[in-house]
A = this chain, B = another copy of it.
Amino acid sequence: MTGARTDVEQVERANTAFYEALERGDFDEVSDLWLDTGTRDALDEDDAVDSSDEETAISCVHPGWPVLTGRGEVLRSYALIMANTEYIQFFLTDVHVGVAGDTALVTCTENILSGGPPPEGGGELGPLVGQLVVATNVFRRTSDGWKLWSHHASPVLAETDDEEGEESPS
């Protein structure tokens, strides 16, 4: 990593690395890219906690899912998704990076192509499915680079992303 890289470039690389790790099904890399605040959030996997004791618990929303909070819940969800995904590719568009102090906010469109495991009779892949998803990813600057604090992804159900006065969702 060259010293001349700007914050925005570094954040964009971290964001890209996250999706590439998902494409490879690289669970260790995905785990490493999520903020690790030590063991603090291991205690609250099943409780909503708002004490200032664990100020940076990670959170994650997959498309259509409720909020997952803490490394336990979040990483288990990725293990589950990886186990049920034979193939996944993200074509990122509309990537927008903002940085303020030690926090970065990335919005992007995830054009997803994915397939499940092969059907029972064998074969190569389950049917490929395309999905249009938008994501807001929040990163924190750490001594080990930019790490994900929050990922929120959701399906785009409206028919347009051009705002020309008729942007009401159908």
Cα–Cα, bound, A54→B65 (Å): 31
Which A84-99 residues have C-beta < 8 A from chain B?
A: 84, 94-99
Query: Are A96's CB and B136's CB within 8 A?
Result: no
Cα–Cα, bound, A153→B156 (Å): 11
Copies in the complex: 2
Shortest distance between the CB of A77 and any CB in chain B (Å): 7
Among B64, B67, B101, B108, which residue has its beta carbon within 8 angstroms of that of A169? Answer: B64
Cα–Cα, bound, A73→B103 (Å): 23
Say yes or no: is A100 at the interface (Cβ < 8 Å to chain B). Answer: yes
Query: Are A52's CB and B158's CB within 8 A?
Result: no
User: Interface-forming stretch among A17-25, A26-34, A119-127, A160-168?
Assistant: A160-168
Interface size grouping (class) on chain A:
35 or more
Query: Are A156's CB and B57's CB within 8 A?
Result: no
CB contacts (< 8 Å) of A55 on chain B: these are 8, 98-100
CB contacts (< 8 Å) of A45 on chain B: these are 163
Among B8, B69, B153, B156, which residue has its beta carbon within 8 angstroms of that of A65? Answer: B156
Among B67, B136, B155, which residue has its beta carbon within 8 angstroms of that of A59? Answer: B136
Say yes or no: is A157 at the interface (Cβ < 8 Å to chain B). Answer: yes
Query: Are A95's CB and B154's CB within 8 A?
Result: no
Query: Are A155's CB and B64's CB within 8 A?
Result: yes
CB contacts (< 8 Å) of A46 on chain B: these are 163
CB contacts (< 8 Å) of A56 on chain B: these are 98, 100, 105
